[in-house]
Each structure stands twice: as structure tokens, then as C-alpha cells.
Structure 1
Amino acid sequence: MRIPFIFIFCLLFSAGKAQEFAISNYDVLWNSQSKNSSESMPVGGGDIGLNVWVEDGDLLFYISRSGLFDENNTLLKVGRVRLRFPQNKLKEGFKQRLNLADGACHISGAQSGLQSDVRIWVDVHKAVIHIDIDHSKATNAQLFFEHWRFEDRATKKKENNQNSWKWAPQGDVKTYADEVGFENGSLYFYHQNKKQTVFDVVVKQQGLESIKDSLFNPLDGRIFGGFLYAKGFVNAGIEEGNYINTPFKAYELKTAKPSKRQQVLIALQTGQHLSPEKLKSETQKLALNSASSAKKDFKNNQRWWASFWNKSYIQIPKTADTTAYQVARNYNLYRYMLACNAYGDYPTKFNGGLFTFDPVFTDSTATFTPDFRNWGGGTHTAQNQRLVYWPMLKAGDADLMKPQFDFYQSILGNAEWRSKFYWGHNGASFTEQIENFGLPNPAEYGWKRPESYDKGMEYNAWLEYEWDTVLEFCQMILDARDYQNFDVKPYLPLIKSSLRFFDEHYQYLAKKRGSKALTADGKLVIYPGSAAETYKMTYNASSTVAALKTVLQNFLQLPNELLNADEKAQWQGMLTRIPEISYRDIDGKTTISPATVWERINNVETPQLYPVFPWKIFGLQKPGLDTAINTYKFDPDALRFRDSKGWKQDNIWAARLGLTDEAVKYTFAKLKNSERRFPAFWGPGFDWTPDHNWGGSGMIGLQEMLLQDVDDKILLFPAWPKDIDVRFKLHAPQQTVVEAEVKNGKANIINVWPESRRKDIIIK
């Protein structure tokens, strides 16, 4: 990213101006051990996530990493690590703290005069996990790598919801065994996909075998694993055990002699067409080098986390209403969880991210391995993914958005092939429930399809004709440039192709129905369409119309060096072809209609309010505010579908419309403490635990209560109750950062960067 020097200087200078905020106020501290993995604490960095807990004196953690997709497209965990001190069960004076300032977990406890302190942290810049152990006197330690994929294992019925087969496996499905072995007091482990994967079956199912060699395949030859290095430990054999329904083998290492300090490192690697020998040698080298540079690396980590927390914050004092304090703390905790995948090869999954735990604690009927999560691993539900990434703009985390943008960039070619192959036109066809190789999920595509049914379509009542969610990610890319000068140039082909699809495909469909491609007044007929998964077989869905209008208008604002005059004329022509948003009368009040017409309702979303968010066509100080408020207050479907759980967005719309009481009700309900021990492990909602689109929608709502952008203006506290003290630092368009507060009922601006934007601020 190219950020002007003055902007960087302002951000650094702000550290001296924001002394009242200390992220340590939101550390999570436990004074008792946990019952099981559902009471774990998230720890991570770079693209690695750990669930850490202490149970019966043993310290355990699961290891997850971005991109660990097996043959069935399950997002596998690396394994589970168990650390045991035979002379210390850690029960006297036990403490487990998530220290947000350095991103580490600190655990301490004593027994019979032996004090042990453990620090677990993940290097943000290298794929290395560190366990630093200090004792008050020399003692022994045991270390176990617990591994449940020690043999091929059949996955049946509901368990296939963890992979791309879902409810429609074609024959027997197996999770294949990993390789694990001792190496001179250390361990190596890896999983390498077999030649045949779900990709091959999907290509055949969808009739694309003739172009198979041209399609991007992220599962082919994928290998992932690592090397566990424990200084001063020796091999101690293999044990068998069972943890929460799942048998495992434990590869044990133990200290050769008692010592006061122990150091363990786990180096990881992921790639394609990499030999096991090379993976082993490279991760061994990484682990050994990191052992010698650990002090320097931890300081670099501390600097990274300090910079991260300096970018933005929301703070509510403990003296405030208890729920209000929880809301601010959990906002920051969830932002920490998102930052643990800052540099992932793949985006943070909405259905648990890197922090899923044993599934039976989310669903008592899911007596499966720790690899399980509902709604798949390599399958991406775009309507859910978007809510994970929208809040990163105001948080100043545009750099964290890159994995999500790169996900679409990587599958762009396959999405374009779909349009060419099935319909003979240009543009990228991105479906809902899309695989990490850009084709529809095979179960959602449908195995039992009418022979005459369009082969480019998902034969699915919820998903048919739903392909406009990619436009939200296109808008995020454009916004990231406006907020933080993010380099959009690599993603221009993605934006162009996504827009082109709608222009060409709906003219194509119109010509199949009749002799004209456009209406009498030169507009596209967006039929059949879909307003989210809810209003089906729509004519000009308002959510799609709003998306196309907004993305085109913002795209046309790019400077000439990114979009030349000829291109702008072309896209301006498409903009003139976009139809208008539809309205309907409800009890004498004008409201936004989901579409001009539709055939049926399938789900419980409210896409008639998408023109409020994410598209910001309606809102405070904008024309038609009364119409949008009428829609929120009187649309019978909007009222019937209203809720705070999961991916529900009522809190966001209430904030955008200035409905303070409603915004407080639904945002506070979202961000208050979860029912889990870790307060930001919400869910399952409609998906899984932790529910990341639950957290994301909560973040967005809270941000919108505090700061909104309207054209060139910035509204402060547009939906904030003045009787609750709050202080924040958030980002806005035109590379603006605002720090402000409500204190004792009075709103104050603390800092604005650049200062020239102060004149554009309106305090509501």
C-alpha cells in the first residue's frame, strides 16, 4: 500500500494523544481452569489460530491455519498439543490471561512451592507457534502431539457438512490419514492430498471436463504440516487416548532432565506440489532459526500489535452500564480474533474462523472430530462472508481485507470460464455457496437435475439466480482505497468482470425470451433474479439494482490513470441501463420494495433494506429517509424477520437510519457476552460457533452508531445514547481518522487527521 508520509506521521503522532485508551483494560483473565475445549481462549497471529485452555492441570491447544483444505475440502486442524508438568498441576493461584497488547496467552500456577509460567504466542511474521516456559526451580515436562487422523476414517451423513459433499456424497467419503513421526527429540507431521479430490468430481458433475486443464485447482497436490522442536526433550513413545468422542494417538516428548526453562516451537508450512521431504526440512530450519531469534521476534510481534491497536478502538468505561462495557470489550476481542488471520492465504471463514472447538459443545448431536464445522471448510457462503469484512474499513484494517479480495481474484478465471462455457458471453459468474475453486458447491448445484435445466445454474430453491454478492466485495475494494489508499489496481479486472456479467447475462436472457435485449426506455431487465436467498424469481430486485448503481458510480470516480476516458464512457453507458429501485405502498406509507415482483419467499432476510446498508443510497441527510424508515418500521416481512442473532442486520439499519433506541437494542444484544466462557464466542446462530458473521454485524452496527459518512460529510454519534460515555478512534473516507467522545452527556472531537477534514464533521 502507498500511504502518504503525512498520514503515517499522523497515525504515529496519535499514540501520544490517545493516552486514555489502554487495550489492557479489555484483557480476558480467568482464575480457574476450564472444563473442556468449549471453554478455550483464542490466541493467534499471521494466519494461525489456537484454542488454548487448561483442563485438570494439563495445558492444551488446538492448532488451525488458513488454507488447510483436504481432498474433500474440509478445513482441517493441524492437531492438538498437550503440555504437562508432572510436579505442578497449576491449581494454586491459577491465572490464564489473553494479553491483547502483545497478542499472547499467559498462564501461571503453582503446586507445593513450584511456580510455573507459560507464554503462548504466534509469530505474526512467520508461521511459528512459541511456547515459552519458566519454572521457579528445575522440573520436568511432558509434551504430547495428539493426532486423531492416524488412520483413514469414513465420514457419514451429517458429518459431511464439514466438507463440500454436504448431504449428497457420491459414494464413500473418507478423511485420509496424516503422516507423523519422531525426529531426534522432535516431531514432523503433514497431510498431502491424494490425486483425486472433490474438484475432479465437481468439474465432471458440472460438465466442464473439456476445459478442466484451464481451471484453477487449489486442492491439487496441496500439502500442509510442520515441525515441532522442543529443546532438551527426547522421544518418549506413542500413547492412545480419547478426548470428547474422538480417539487419538499421542506422540510424546519429555525433558531429558529437569530444567528451569523450556522452549517449544512449532513451525508450519502450506503449499501445493511440495515434497514431504522439502516441507520437513524447511519447517525444521524455520523452527531452529526461530528458537535462536525468539526474543527479537517477540519484540517485533509486540510492535505489530501496538501498531494494530493504535489504528482504532472503541472504549466504554467499566463505570458505565455493564452491558455497554461488554459491548466495547467484545468489539475489541472480536477484532483481535479477525487480526489472527491478517495474512492468510484464505479469508476468515464466517463459520468459526480459526477458532472452532469440539463440535458436540455447539450441537450435542455432532459427535464428530475437532475438524467438524457446519457449512463446510472450502465452501464460502458469500452473504455471510461479507459481514466479516465490512467492519474492517472503519477499524482501519484494510490490510486485513486482502485475503478476502485475493480469494475472489484467485477464482476469477474459473468464474469467467463458467460464463463463456455455458452462455457464450463475457463476465464472471460468481454463485452463492461457492467453492474455493470458483465453482458452485456440488450439493447446492444439485445431483438430480432436469435434463433441460440450464447447466450454469444451481438447481436450488434458495440459491438460484443469486450472484450479486460479489458486488459487495467490489465495493469494499473501492472503499479500501478511499479509506486507506489501498492499491486497487490488481483488482480492477475483478470489478470489471463482475459488472460485465450482469450487463451481458441479462441481455442474453432477454434475447432468449424475445427479440429485444432492453426495455423500451433502454433498461436491463434483471429477471430472473434473487433478493438475497429470500425473495425468489424476482424482477429487478432492489438489492441488485442498488448494488449495480452504487458500484458503477464509485467505479467511475476512479482517476484516469486507473480508468481512462474511453473505459469510463463504456461504464457510464452501463449505468444508464440500470433500472430504478422499486417501491410499494403499505397502509398508505411508501416503502422500498424487495423487487418489482417476485414469486415466493424462501428465507428470513430483509434485502429491501440493503439500499440502506450496504449500499447507503438511503440514510441520514439523504433523500427518501422517510421511505427507508417506513420500510424498517412497517414492512411486515421486515418486522417478521427482525432479530439480533447470527447474520441479522437490523442493528445496522437502525443505526444508519438514526433510530437510536432500536440500534442500542439490537447492537447491544449482538455484542453482549456470549453464552461461552470466552465472551466473543457467539453462536451458533444460523451457522456455527464462534459465529463470525454475528460478530461482524455487531461491529458494523456499533461503528455506525458512532460515525457515519454521508457524501463528503462525517456524522458523529448519529445513533448513540448520550447517557452512555464512549470514546472512539475510527476511520472514514478520504483517508480520514476521527477520535471523539461522549463524556457526561457532551460530545467532543478529540483529534481529526487530516485537520482539514474537521470542517466536514457534524455532531448529531
Structure 2
Amino acid sequence: MLLLFLSILPCFAHAQTELATNNIIWTSPSRNAGESMPCGGGDVGLNVWTENGDVLLYLARSGTFDENNSLLKLGRVRLHLTPNPFDHGTFKQELALQTGDVTLTGKVGQTSARVRVWVEVFKPVVHVEVTGSEKLSAEATYESWRFADRRPKGKENNQNSYKWAPQGDVVTRRDSIGFRSQGVEFFHQNRPQTVFDVVVQQQGLASVKDRLYNPLNQLIFGGALHGLKMTPAGTTTGQYLNTHYHGWKLKSRTPARTHSIVVALHTTTAPAVPQWQQGLQQTLDAARQNPKAARQRTVAWWHDYWQCSFIHIRPEKAAANAPEWQTGRNYQLMRYMLGCNAFGQWPTKFNGGLFTYDPVLTDSTLKFTPDFRNWGGGTHTAQNQRLVYWPMLKNGDFDLLKPQFDFYLRLLKNAELRSQTYWQHPGACFTEQLENFGLPNPAEYNWKRPTSFDKGLEYNAWLEYEWDTVLEFCLMMLDAEQYVGQDATPYLPFIESCLTFFDEHYQYLARQRGAKALDGAGHLVLYPGSGAETYKMAYNSTATITGLRTVLTRLLALPTPYGTVGQRQKWTAMLGRIPSISFRESQGHPTIAPAKSWERINNTESPQLYPVFPWGAYGVGKAGLDTARNTYLYDADVQKFRSHIGWKQHNIFAARLGLTDEAAELTVKKLQDSGRRFPAFWGPGYDWAPDHNWGGSGMLGLQEMLLQTDGRKIYLLPAWPKNWDVHFKLHAPYQTTVEGVVRNGKLESLKVLPESRRADVVVM
């Protein structure tokens, strides 16, 4: 390893040019919604495609949860032009990453038109702008499959919180839709009784119900479709794939060369519809005031977003059939989709984000509505969600972390009430398969549980005693402070409460078994525990121990304004009660054990490598690297479970261990073209398509191949193949950015800001 001192390139301005080579261009229409293109901004996501001469959009927005906790689409918009430039002529559809929009152009004979679709970043407004070579008539139809109550049956309930165990008559209630003020208004108003009430009763929390946070109560969401100089033109019916729909049409009053269509969206908590309508009208009025200024603000935001961070592989030799170039391009596409929920109240869901489409196009047996996604809408699986959010640190996308952080802050009180009600001790208990109101998913909690079984536990072979993933979000909060100087004060009560749960609960469990709360060395006995969903009924799970140690150590390392003397004494004492991890021999080599002992293996994760990622106890430049590498190379379970599919993270482990060939192979497989028309619509993997934890883990592996940190040290190219040219810009702790160009196996240029951090850079 050598410290590298390089001259700073006079200009790193090629990034925008390189980004343009990542744009997606299609020259033929799509066959169906499965061949759609993502488009979005703020917290709104669209699927955009052209089919049978019509331009179609699926509308989605963060936080549109119905009574059953399905994350509902907001409908579909169909645009038809007459004469029709998209009917069997020349065609082009382009996603322009630089500006965040999708443009469709078509020409039939002498008639041509351009349709630009874009979403405002700072307001929930969708714009559809038509420009024709001659005067065209435009017809915009709002289409909905929720024109009547629907009763999901069988697997269709996997889209809501009931999953495979519906209680009574589960109904997806109809929306309210009609013409209003020369447009189409549509909204869903949650009824007073929701799945929240069912779960509270199921889990024995009725006595504290009035103190529990309930995001489904009085929730109203929807929007309005309006067109400049357009007027209502009646209704229609039809069927798209397996789903019947009703449509409400707007038609241009006269043919024109330009048409402007907007969809304004609004979500609020209100006791009655007029309050929601008032907020919607304000959004509509703002959308009409100065669309050019809104466009400029949106384009400027996307420009800054792409300037913040990038990884362009083989930027001077763009070749769609080159696996490593695909890896870099699809990294950018995944980051684009994450940017479409930059300012949502709710996190980007791992199982499709804002870009799901008709499920029959993912699984031919699932002939359900476009509202379907597997593993629930309001249900959050922490092991999967973390992989969506970890890449945002090195990307410098600190604003994008806020929805996930706020999600947990809102649920803190509910998680603490669980501990107080069930076990009469403090601390926040967060389970896996967590509802957006902080309680376990009712199907995973299990309706068929023994009456004597601990009400605080999920009666579930995969999930029992798994509550340590929240520690990763604690670390993300601390990392945000370290990376960008973000104030950690709002997060300290949350982090402390999560730690307190483990300290209190495992002493509580020990006292149920015997007279002593700690073992003979004065340490917690973390039993029963869990090594992810895999090593069950674990004693001193390695992932849990390393997580507790890491978060406590990082708390104590915070600058002195954080934490009182009493708090720091408490953290120090707690750290002293955390036991050491265990080791074992694998094929004659010392390796990290998943736990001191366990009773069974239930899944195919590798938590014995969680000390490598996410906890960073082992890695390049750190003690014990050989033992961690042995675990990756020789542990029989790790070998058996290794894969690139879905949430598998072996590419990240390999990168952090400096295993270049293994990291490159698995990361390329992660980020190679999805096999669908849009290259970054991976999945379904173990979850759903597009699989965002598949893409997120791919991003993480690529980042770690390029840049790793240990304290103030910055390791460059710790697992980077010598034959991969790259131009990259990534973020590091202490408000640092690192931009570099590698050509022909050499780091040709390096820019480190602030300049004082250059001395901390080590090139591998």
C-alpha cells in the first residue's frame, strides 16, 4: 500500500457527458406495462410506456396505504392523439437522467409529435406536455380498477397486511371518482376501521391503543387530472390484461399544436373530504402558476443530484453488451429510482418501490390488479430495507435517508409501549416484518399461537427473537453525523432506547431462568436470539453482539456536545456487559462462528459475516482480516448460501475483504441487465419486481470495491479489477468527497475535498 500524491485534474467536467451515455433509449413501442420505463421526482413514481398507439402512465406515490395496508397505485392515465403519430410509425422513447424526464417521439407520414413526461421534485405534480408538427386533438383518460369494492382472495392478500391469514371479509374499498371543475378528481378515504385495529386487538395492546401511533386513521389520498383547454368527454370501460377498469375522459376543445396535461396529487390526514379537496386545490393552483419555473427547479435538482456522486465504468468505451459497463450504467439507473422518492414521508419499499406493475407480467399465475406486490405494502422487512438505504451514505444522498430515519422515529413510542406492556421494562422492541405503525405483521405474529406464548414474540420459525436489524439504522444515523455533520440530537433517544431494550430484556430473560441476570464474566446472556433469519434459537448471536458493540462504541466516539456525563457512563457500562463473539474451525481454518450455539438453520443468510458488513469490525486494513477471509472462503454454510440473487450480500462481503475477483464476479451478476426491457427492473428474486434490495446490494458492492474507510483512513481501490477503467465520485466520513479517474490499471487523477484529507488516502 502506498500513499499517492497526484495532481488534481484542472476539470472533472466529463461526468455530465458520461451520464448521458447511461440514458435509456427505445426505438419501438412496448408490448405491455412490464416493458415500462420509470419516471419520477419528489415522492412520485410513474411507469411510462406506449402501447397500441397510446401513451400510458401508472401513477404511484409514497404513503398511499388503504385500510388493509396495501400500498395502492393512484390509477392509470392514457393519452391518445388524433391524428396519431404513435400508430405504426417511427418511434423513440428516452429516459434522460440529467433532467429526470421521459420523452416519447413518434411520426406517421408527415405527422409527428413529442410527449414529455416529468414530475416536479418539490410538489406532487405530474406534467405531460405534447408538441405536434400540426394541430392534434388530445384525449386524456383517467383509468381506475377501483371503481367498485374488490375482495382479494388467496395470494392476492399478500399485497396487504393480512397476507395468508385474512380475518373475515377483507375488502379493498372503492375510490371516489368523478368529474369536477373541468377535470377528473379521484381519491381513497380510509374507513374508520383498519387493519391497525385488528392488529392491536390480536396482540393484546387494547389497553394502550389510544397512545399508539396510527398512520392509517383518517388517511385520504388521491388527486386530479386536468388539461389546459380540455373538457370532460364522458366515461368508458375496458380491460387491461386481467383487470377491468372504468375511464373518465378529458378531450381538447379544439385541435392544437401543443397540449398541457397535469396530474396533481394530495395526501393528508383529515376528518372529512372537503379538507383534502382544499389541499388538492392549492397544489393544482401552484401547478398552474409558473410551470416553467417549476421545470427549472426540477432540472436544477437533478443536475445537483448527479453532480453529488457517480460511478462511470468504461466511460470512454460505452458498450451495452459489456458486463462491466452494464454494471456502472445500472448503478446510475438504480440511483435514479431512489431519487424519485427523495422527499417522501415514507421510505422507498424494498419490494418494488414506486415502480410495480401488473403482477401477471412478473408471475403468470398472479392475475391480480396493478396494486399487487408480494410481501405487503405497509409492511417493512428491516433486513431488506437496510440494503436500499446503506448506499446513500457513500452517494452523499443524506436527504434521501430522512424518510427511513423518520419512519423509525414515528414508531419509537409504539415500540416502547410493546416492551412496557409485555415485559414491564423500558426500551424499544422492533421486530422483523414490521407494520408501518410499529407492530409485528399479524400473519407473521401468527393467529394460531398457543395462549400461553409470550405476547411480545412473533410465533414464527423465521422471525422469533430477531430484533437486532434496527441497530443498522441506528448506525446509519450515527454515520450521517460522521459523514456530513448532520445533527444526531434528534436520533439519540431512539438509539438509546433500542440499546436499552437489549440490555433490559436479556437481563429480564436471565432472571426468568435463574437467580443471576449476567453470566460469570458479568456479560449479558443473549439467549434466545437469532442470527438473521437463519441461525435460530441462537446463544450469543455474532451479528447481535457486533451490532451492539459497534453502536455503543460509536455513541461514545461522538463529539462531546452529544450525551451528558450520565448518559456516557450508562453507555460505557452497557458496553462492558456485551460478550465477545465466538469462533470455530472450518476446513482446518479459524473462522467466525454465527453464534456460540444454535438449534437449527432456517434460511440462507450468512450472519457470521455481518462483522464484516454492516458492522465493519473486520476488513481491509483491520486486524483479523485473515480470519474473516477464511470465513468467506471456507465456512461450509457461507459457501452453500453464496449467490447474487435478491438480498444476498456476498458481493459486499467479498469487496470489504479485498477479494477482488469474487467481488467483481458477484457484483457484475448483481448489476447486469435484469432481463426485462428496463435494465434495472431486477427480480422478483425472493421478493418482488423491481427488486430494490437486489439493486441496493449491488450498489453497495460496487462502492466498497472502490472506496472503504477505517477511522480517518480512506482506502481507494481495495477490490477494484485492474482492467476496469472508471470515473467515480464518492463520499467519505468527515464531510469528504473523493473523485478519481482510473485508466489502464492506474489512478491517473485524484481530487479530494477538503484538501487536508488527501493525506488520509491510501491507494491499494
Contact kept in structure 2, 1:405 and 1:477, CA below 8 Å = yes
The answer to whether the 8 A contact 1:96-1:106 is kept is yes
Q: Distance in 2 between matches of 1:419 and 1:490?
A: 22
Matched position secondary structure for 1:383: helix
2:163 matched to 1:166? Answer: yes
| 2:523 corresponds to 1:528 | no
Conserved in 2, the CA contact under 8 Å of 1:188 and 1:280? Answer: no
Q: 2:200·2:209 contact (CA, 8 Å) conserved in 1?
A: yes
1:35 aligns with one of 25, 31, 40: 31
Q: Does structure 1 retain, via aligned residues, the 8 Å contact 2:270–2:276?
A: no
Q: Which residue of 1 aligns with 2:133?
A: 136
The answer to whether 1:235 aligns with 2:223 is no
Per the alignment, do residues 114 and 285 of structure 1 end up closer, same or farther by CA in structure 2, a change over 3 Å counting?
farther
**Partners in 1 of 2:371 and 2:11 — Cα distance?**
44
- Measure the CA separation in 2 of the matches of 1:244 and 1:421: 48
Q: Does 1:19 align with 2:14?
A: yes
Letter paired with 2:45:
G
Query: 1:216 and 2:209 equivalent?
Result: no
CA RMSD of aligned residues (A): 1.3
Q: Cα offset for 1:443?
A: 0.5
User: 1:575, 1:377 → 2: CA distance?
Assistant: 37
- Deviation of the 1:370 alpha carbon: 0.1
Q: Does structure 2 retain, via aligned residues, the 8 Å contact 1:228–1:287?
A: no
User: How do residues 488-503 of structure 1 correspond to structure 2 at under 5 angstroms?
Assistant: 488-503=488-503
| Aligned residue runs from structure 1 range 3-18, under 5 A | 17-18=12-13
Q: Map Cα deviations across residues 94-120 of structure 1 (whole Å, 9 max, x no partner).
A: 111001111011111112312111111
Match of 1:399 in 2: 399
Q: Give the whole-Å Cα distance in 2 for the aligned partners of 1:299 and 1:446.
A: 51
- Aligned partner of 2:311 in structure 1 is 314
Q: What's the secondary structure of 1:393's corresponding residue?
A: helix
Query: Which residue is equivalent to 1:643?
Result: 643
Q: Offset of 1:16 from its aligned partner? A: 5.3
Match of 2:417 in 1: 417
Residue 697 of structure 2 corresponds to which residue in structure 1?
Answer: 697
2:21 and 2:318 in contact (8 A); partners too: no
Asked if 1:71 is matched to 2:71, the reply is no
- Tell me the equivalent position of 1:606: 606
1:289 maps to amino acid: A
SS, match of residue 95 in structure 2: strand
Shift of 1:138: 1.1
Tell me the SS of whatever aligns to 1:174. Answer: coil
SS of residue paired to 1:223: strand
Is 1:184–1:234's contact at 8 Å kept on the other side of the alignment? Answer: no
Q: How does 1:549-568 map to 2 (within 5 A)?
A: 549-568=549-568
Distance in 1 (CA, whole Å) between partners of 2:11 and 2:228 is 41
- Cα deviation 1:160-199 (Å, max 9, x = unaligned): 0000000001111110000011024211110000011000
Instruction: State the Cα deviation string for residues 64-111 of structure 1 (Å, max 9, x = none).
Output: 000000000000000000000121142433111001111011111112
**Residue in 2 aligned with 1:255?**
252
Give the whole-Å Cα distance in 2 for the aligned partners of 1:623 and 1:309: 36
Partner Cα separation in structure 2 for residue 591 and residue 18 of structure 1 = 46
| Match status 1:226 vs 2:229 | no
Runs of 5+ in structure 1 lacking a partner?
A: 1-12
Deviating more after overlay: 744-753 vs 69-78? 744-753
Give the secondary-structure state (helix, strand or coil) at the position aligned to 1:539.
Answer: strand
What is the 5 A alignment of 1:458-473?
458-473=458-473
Deviation at 1:748, TM superposition (A): 3.2
Aligned amino acid, residue 635 of structure 2: D
SS of residue in 1 equivalent to 2:596: coil
Contact 2:308 2:395 in 1 (8 A): yes
Closer/same/farther in 2, CA of residues 52 and 20 from structure 1, 3 Å limit: closer
Q: Cα gap change, 1:422/1:99 in structure 2, threshold over 3 Å: closer, same or farther?
A: same
Instruction: Map residues 42-121 of structure 1 onto 2, 5 A cutoff.
Output: 42-90=38-86, 91-121=88-118
Q: Give the Cα separation in 1 of the matches to 2:255 and 2:703.
A: 52
Counterpart of 1:720 in structure 2 is 720
Whole-Å Cα distance in 1 between the matches of residues 659 and 136 of structure 2? Answer: 61
Matched with 1:625 is 625
Give the CA deviation at 1:461.
0.3
Q: Deviation of residue 723 (structure 1)? A: 1.1
Give the alignment of 1:371-520 within 5 angstroms: 371-520=371-520
Q: CA deviation at 1:284?
A: 2.9
**Is contact 2:85-2:112 (8 Å) kept?**
no
Aligned to 1:752, the other structure's residue is in SS state strand
The code of the aligned residue for 2:489 comes to K
Match of 1:187 among 176, 180, 184: 184
- Cα separation, 1, equivalents of 2:98 and 2:697: 25
| 1:471-506 Cα deviation digits (max 9, x unpaired) | 000000100111122222111111010000000000
Residue pair 2:266, 2:283 contacting (<8 A) in 1 also: no
User: Partners in 2 of 1:276 and 1:391 — Cα distance?
Assistant: 39
**In structure 2, distance between residues paired with 1:420 and 1:189:** 42
Compare 402-411 and 224-233 and name the one that shifted more. Answer: 224-233
Equivalent residue, structure 2, for 1:730: 730
Letter in 2 for 1:81: V
Q: Which amino acid aligns with 1:59?
A: V
Question: How many residues end up aligned between the 2 structures?
Answer: 752
Alpha-carbon distance in structure 2 between the residues aligned to 1:586 and 1:17: 48
Over residues 246-298 of structure 1, what are the superposed CA-to-partner deviations in whole Å (9 max), with x where a residue is unaligned?
A: 00001011111111111111111111125322322332332233123100100
Secondary structure, aligned partner of 1:708: strand
Deviations 1:738-757 (A, max 9, x none): 00121022123421000011
Task: Establish whether residue 571 from structure 1 lines up as the match of residue 571 from structure 2.
Answer: yes
Aligned AA for 2:145? W
Question: Could you tell me which residue of structure 1 aligns to residue 537 of structure 2?
Answer: 537
Q: Given that residues 483 and 731 in structure 1 are in contact (C-alpha distance below 8 angstroms), is that contact kept between their aligned partners in structure 2? A: yes
On the 8 A contact 2:85/2:111 being kept in 1, the answer is: no
Q: Is residue 15–residue 307 contact of structure 2 (8 Å, CA) maintained in 1?
A: no
8 Å CA contact retained: 1:318, 1:325? no
Cα distance between partner residues in 1 of 2:705 and 2:171:
48
Alignment identity in percent?
57
Residue in 1 that maps onto 2:145: 148
SS in 2 for 1:757: helix
2:195 is aligned to: 198
Residue 43 of structure 1 contacts residue 50 of structure 1 at CA under 8 Å; is this kept in 2?
yes
SS in 2 for 1:344: coil
2:649, 2:282 → 1: CA distance? 47
Give the AA of the match of 1:686: Y
- Structure 2 unmatched runs, 5+: 1-7
What one-letter code is carried by the residue in structure 2 that aligns with 1:278?
Answer: Q
Instruction: Compute the displacement of 1:21 (Å).
Output: 4.5
Q: Is the 8 A contact 1:15 1:310 kept in 2?
A: no
Which whole-Å deviations, capped at 9, do the CAs of 1:403-445 have from their partners, x for residues lacking one? 0000010110000000000000000000000000000000000
Instruction: Please give the alpha-carbon distance, in whole angstroms, between the structure 1 residues aligned to 2:226 and 2:246.
Output: 19
Verify the 8 A CA contact 1:21 1:315 in the aligned structure 2: no
Displacement of 1:320 after TM fit?
Answer: 6.5
User: 1:120-165: CA deviations, max 9, x gaps?
Assistant: 1110000111111111111101110000000001011100000000
Deviations 1:320-374 (A, max 9, x none): 6711111000000100000000011100000000000100111111100000000
Q: Does the CA contact (< 8 Å) of 1:383 and 1:432 recur in 2?
A: yes
Moved over 4 A (4+): 13-16
CA contact (8 A) 2:341 2:400 kept: yes
CA distance in 2, matches of 1:756, 1:274: 56
Query: Partners of 1:346 and 1:642 in 2: how far apart?
Result: 32
Cα distance in 1, alignment partners of residues 56 and 278 from structure 2: 26
Quote the Cα distance in structure 1 between the aligned partners of 2:10 and 2:139.
43
Q: Higher mean Cα deviation, 380-389 or 291-300?
A: 291-300
Amino acid at match of 1:394: K
Task: Report what 2:4 is aligned to.
Answer: none
SS in 2 for 1:141: strand
Helix, strand or coil at the partner of 1:17? coil
| Cross-structure match for 1:657 | 657
- DSSP 3-state at the match of 1:643: coil
